[in-house]
A and B are shown apart, each in its own frame.
Chain A
Amino acid sequence: MASRPRGAAEPGGERELLSSGDVARTIARMAHQVIEKTALGGGPGEPPVLLGIPTRGTSLAARLAERIAEFSGVEPPAGALDITLYRDDLRRRPTRPLADTTLPDTGIDDRVVILVDDVLFSGRTVRAALDALRDHGRPRAVQLAVLVDRGHREFPIRADYVGKNIPTARAEDVAVLLSEVDGRDAVLLREGEAKA
């Protein structure tokens, strides 16, 4: 039986891992990392395109774009990439409603695309996003930014930008709350059904 990581949630309970302030600082740090890695504003070449995976990835991508603009003076185009139609587990649940796919006017051809999501877990979501991306065009490179990496990968996928690494037990659940969606910012650890 896997030992419970230090600070794990009590059964049926939840524990706040990141506070509102922590979230803001984490996003800021990620923005700096993006600027550095993509050499943004330091020379010619277009900024990367940030595509958030709905629902919360979209808000994260928008915030990240704002922070990057603030720190570098260059605003990367941001949008959303819905992966519902590319999921491999559709038949396990009742019909899912589609979320928004909005690509910025720049398109993605020959651009660096950074997929943005709240939690990286099994990697299936990102894999579906790569499939979806493929039908929209041919990026020069694809990178991945996640607020939380909680381990338990089922695919050979790793993030380029990680806000926080949080080791978890499979049965636990990491919930990212964002004010645009949930009314407040926080990252919570919950006991319960893990969603891939």
Chain B
Amino acid sequence: MKHLLATEGLDPDLATAVLDTADGLKRTLLGREVRKLPTLRGRTVITMFYENSTRTRVSFEIAGKWMSADVVNVSAGGSSVGKGESLRDTALTLSAAGADCVIIRHPASGAAQRLAGWLEGTGTSVVNAGDGMHEHPTQALLDAATLRERLGGIKDRRVGIVGDVLHSRVARSNIHLLSALGAEVVLVAPPTLLPPGVGALPVTVSHDLDAELPALDAVMMLRVQAERMTGGFFPSAREYSIAYGLNEARLKLLPEHAAVLHPGPMVRGMEIASAVADAPSAAITEQVRNGVHVRMAVLYHLLAGEEETK
């Protein structure tokens, strides 16, 4: 694997291999005092975050450091980007400075792909940590890892994704990865928060959360941003929460074995009730934990084998 840019088109066998590696890393680190592996010693990983995100950035940083890579963080605010340097120039500069891997989060859809194109021939790998509303592949991988653990597998399971699918790169990445791994995906949202052309995606669509919950093996709640209310996407936070919030009553509608996921950060009381977020079915802290191992596995697959060209 040369880059990890998207889950759309990601070979399911490769995805499974990454999940298996994440599992192996998790188990080998279990119970250890020295949480360090020498595998990526001497490799340089640079994170370029054009959007604020402490949790994802820290997750990548820990992942790199636990593999003994040198991790450097660049955030858009304090850097030459603020002085008007183009994305392309920033990327080429970092690559020339010695980055073996650039991890990018950017508000423009397609930014990671463009980066990979500009870095062709430099040997630098690119990891997409979220590009606009397009993809967030490592999130989908850690969600899949969590589902594998909780449900014993992904194939033939029914997973619901609830909320602002239209603006969500987490939703898109999950849709592609889950269907590639054999799961059935159901999107539940008001019509205004579903992408036009959603019919072309490998999903079923519903506007009725209560009707869907009893048949789900897992439900993934998406954050709803406050700005969406002023955009007229739904009338009020209250109405949204009443119709699409995962409250305690709805938790009872879910089968006992079902898992509740959330990519974070959560707005307790809006899309997910506080009690639900803390219930045993909620796998949210496992997601975060798995996030580090999955990102370690991604770095392993990108940087620890012989150099690939694709």
Contact = CB atoms under 8 A, between A and B. Distances in A.
B36 interface: yes
Interface stretch (A28-36, A92-100, A157-165, A187-195): A92-100
Nearest to A138: B33
B38 A86 contact: yes
B89 interface: no
Nearest to A135: B34
B307 interface: yes
A94 B28 contact: no
B306 A98 contact: no
B21 A136 contact: no
A98 B17 CA distance: 9
Interface string A90-128: 111111111111110000000000000000000000000
A173 interface: no
A102 B23 CA distance: 13
Given A91-B304, A93-B306, A135-B32, A98 B38 contact: no
B239 interface: no
SS of B interface (majority):
loop
A131 B68 CA distance: 14
Nearest to B17: A97
A82 interface: yes
Given A92-B306, A99-B24, A136-B32, A85 B38 contact: yes
Given A85-B28, A135-B36, A91 B20 contact: no
B36 A97 contact: no
Contact of B300 (A95, A99, A102): A95
A82 B38 contact: no
SS of A interface (majority):
loop
A154 to B, nearest CB: 19
Contacts of B55: none
Contacts of B307: 91
B28 A82 contact: yes
A130 to B, nearest CB: 12
B24 A98 contact: yes
A122 B132 CA distance: 50
B301 interface: yes
Interface of A: 82, 85-86, 90-103, 131, 134-137
Interface of B: 1, 17, 20-21, 24-25, 27-28, 31-34, 36-39, 300-301, 304-308
Given A86-B38, A97-B24, A136-B34, 17 more contacts: A85-B25, A85-B37, A85-B38, A90-B39, A92-B306, A94-B306, A95-B1, A95-B300, A95-B305, A97-B20, A98-B24, A98-B28, A101-B28, A102-B27, A135-B36, A136-B32, A137-B33
